[in-house]
Structure 1
Amino acid sequence: MRAAFRDLRLNFRDPESTEKSGCAVTEENGSKGRSGSVQSIERAFGLLETMADAGGMMGLSQLATASGLPLPTIHRLVRTLVDLGYLRQEQSRQYVLGPRLIRLGESSSHMLSVWARPHLTRLVDELGESANMAMLDGDQIVYLAQVPSRHSMRMFTEVGRRVLPHCTAVGKAILAQQPEAEVRELLRRTGMPQHTDATITDPGKFTEQLRAVEEAGYATDEGEQELGVRCIAVAVPDAPSKLAISISGPAGRMTGELVHRAVPLLTQAAKSFSADLR
């Protein structure tokens, strides 16, 4: 959802300020922040991101505590976001992320795939196997982009497909960046179902593997989601969402030598993709 908030800037107007004579608006307290910025808009997006990080629902006092802003300022911003449809107030008087963010999120996901495609194409050109980009969405991995291998026998993952993270290289690469307590809670919720004989279904063994992934800088799927398929993935650093890119192919072609070549190329592609998202 964070990626959608940048698109939201095109639709959200500062509730506190107006533009006069074409001049830049001033901030609430008369002080200036970053050049060309509008403080109320920055604060509104900060509140949306805070709510997204907290699961999408918070009360005014919680928002005030988390943001450090005065309660009257929180109330003013929240009411504007409610009027615009970006927040909604429940009967409990708490606020939840509103339905207008869904459209922006869908557009943002599409743009992620557009921006990822050149990086994935270069990986296919260099390595010959299918390249993917995926995101952790709630408790699931969703594939947002793929450039298929040019081999007649290749791995094909449908864009939009959802899988659980414990049996995928992209899922492991992403979870290795998260606090262990959060990972264990996710595993408890999903139940770690077994897909093949190679699937790791023990939370302790899985978190041990994540520590190895963090140290190595990449993750593997050794036929854990689908027999005969091997996948190598790295997390996208400093991304607005929890993203990873990978290559996948038949285990017979995904040799140790290919993995050795793939890891630095994947790492560079992830860094370049991250830079494109800033």
Structure 2
Amino acid sequence: MTEDVTTTRAGGVQSVERAFELLQVLAARDRPMGVTDLAGVSGLSPGTIHRLLRTLVDLGYVRQDGNRTYALGHALIRLGERATSGLAAWSRPLLEEVMADLGESVNLAALENDQVVYLAHVPSFQSMRTFTEVGSRVPAHSTGVGKAMLAQLGERAARSLLDRTGMPPATGCTITDPDAMAAELSAVARRGYAVDEEEQEVGVRCVAVPVLGAVPPLAVSVSGPRARVTDDLVARAVAPLQAAAAAIAAEASA
């Protein structure tokens, strides 16, 4: 068997680049795709796509559905978990700086399998503080970090995700109407940050910003008792959160 090791002008292996291009195309869509669709988006020939998919399916990085469409496979979850655990450790000093600056708890979260999963948490030194368990999962629609990440997906992809998960109320403040959430996410995208107004937990307020360009989507947030997370603190929190998010984005893309 002859191994395809054609190199690109930049010195990379062409077949590897094409395989990752297919993975990125599948990751950008909210539904499985057939070979014809993949060829139309990627510009690769159907024959090349068939060969690459055969290998990716065998390795578990792509799954084939019964109707000859393809989606990301579960083997990617293990890679993502290892990557995000390393990122969480690397980002902790950045989160600690934000906590020291603002005096409230700071979180790093990712959007995985349609849910928010918390990767890192730096608790406030104050006696009355919020606490988030690393590894815990919550719905995206009821959290600041979730809304910050949903706003980066675009309305169609965000609505599709919320159709899959539903929008159950966590508190009386949770947004449960898809159209109201679409308007909220549009506002989040315009101003660059999201606010959780006691939507996940009564008495707790949160401000969150996205880590732009991160795959999977990431967000960082500051949360605390509503009495302390005032409008003034929300305004002050945006800049340090965005600085931390920019540093995390640079590391995540390195």
For 1:239, the equivalent position in structure 2 comes to 214
Cα distance, 1:55 vs structure 2:
4.7
2:1 equivalent to 1:16: no
Against the structure 1 CA distance between its residues 180 and 86, is the aligned structure 2 distance closer, same or farther, given a 3 Å change threshold? closer
Q: Partners in 1 of 2:101 and 2:173 — Cα distance?
A: 29
Which stretch shifts more, 121-130 or 45-54? 45-54
Cα distance, 1:228 vs structure 2:
0.8
Q: Partners in 2 of 1:39 and 1:154 — Cα distance?
A: 51
2:56 equivalent to 1:78: no
Amino acid at match of 1:182: A
Residue number among 66, 71, 92 corresponding to 1:117 in the alignment: 92
2:12 equivalent to 1:37: yes
Root-mean-square deviation (Å)? 2.3
Against the structure 1 CA distance between its residues 106 and 15, is the aligned structure 2 distance closer, same or farther, given a 3 Å change threshold? farther
Which stretch shifts more, 55-64 or 106-115? 55-64
2:41 equivalent to 1:66: yes
Whether contact under 8 Å (2:206, 2:224) holds in the other structure is: yes
TM-score between both structures, scaled by the size of structure 2: 0.88
For 1:251, the equivalent position in structure 2 comes to 226
Q: Radius of gyration: which is bigger?
A: 1
Q: How many residues align?
A: 252
- Superposed CA offset, 1:51-99 (max 9, x none): 2333574333333222111222222222333444434545544445444
For 1:270, the equivalent position in structure 2 comes to 245
Q: Partners in 2 of 1:217 and 1:120 — Cα distance?
A: 19
Cα distance, 1:241 vs structure 2:
1.9
For 2:147, the equivalent position in structure 1 comes to 172
Against the structure 1 CA distance between its residues 63 and 120, is the aligned structure 2 distance closer, same or farther, given a 3 Å change threshold? same
Q: Partners in 2 of 1:276 and 1:258 — Cα distance?
A: 27
Q: Secondary structure at the match of 2:152?
A: coil
Using the aligned pairs only, state the percent identity.
54
For 1:46, the equivalent position in structure 2 comes to 21
Cα distance, 1:175 vs structure 2:
1.8
Against the structure 1 CA distance between its residues 202 and 125, is the aligned structure 2 distance closer, same or farther, given a 3 Å change threshold? same
Against the structure 1 CA distance between its residues 95 and 154, is the aligned structure 2 distance closer, same or farther, given a 3 Å change threshold? same
Cα distance, 1:205 vs structure 2:
2.5
TM-score between both structures, scaled by the size of structure 1: 0.81
- Superposed CA offset, 1:175-218 (max 9, x none): 22232233333333333222222222222322222222222221
2:91 equivalent to 1:103: no
Q: Secondary structure at the match of 2:117?
A: strand
For 1:211, the equivalent position in structure 2 comes to 186
Whether contact under 8 Å (1:33, 1:39) holds in the other structure is: no
2:128 equivalent to 1:153: yes
Which stretch shifts more, 214-223 or 178-187? 178-187
Q: Partners in 2 of 1:94 and 1:198 — Cα distance?
A: 40
Q: Partners in 2 of 1:181 and 1:42 — Cα distance?
A: 28
- Superposed CA offset, 1:3-60 (max 9, x none): xxxxxxxxxxx9402xxxxxxxx43xxxx432x3111110011112222333574333
- Superposed CA offset, 1:222-273 (max 9, x none): 1111111110101111212211100101111212322222111111111111
Amino acid at match of 1:115: W
Against the structure 1 CA distance between its residues 15 and 85, is the aligned structure 2 distance closer, same or farther, given a 3 Å change threshold? farther
Whether contact under 8 Å (2:155, 2:182) holds in the other structure is: yes
Q: Partners in 2 of 1:62 and 1:209 — Cα distance?
A: 32
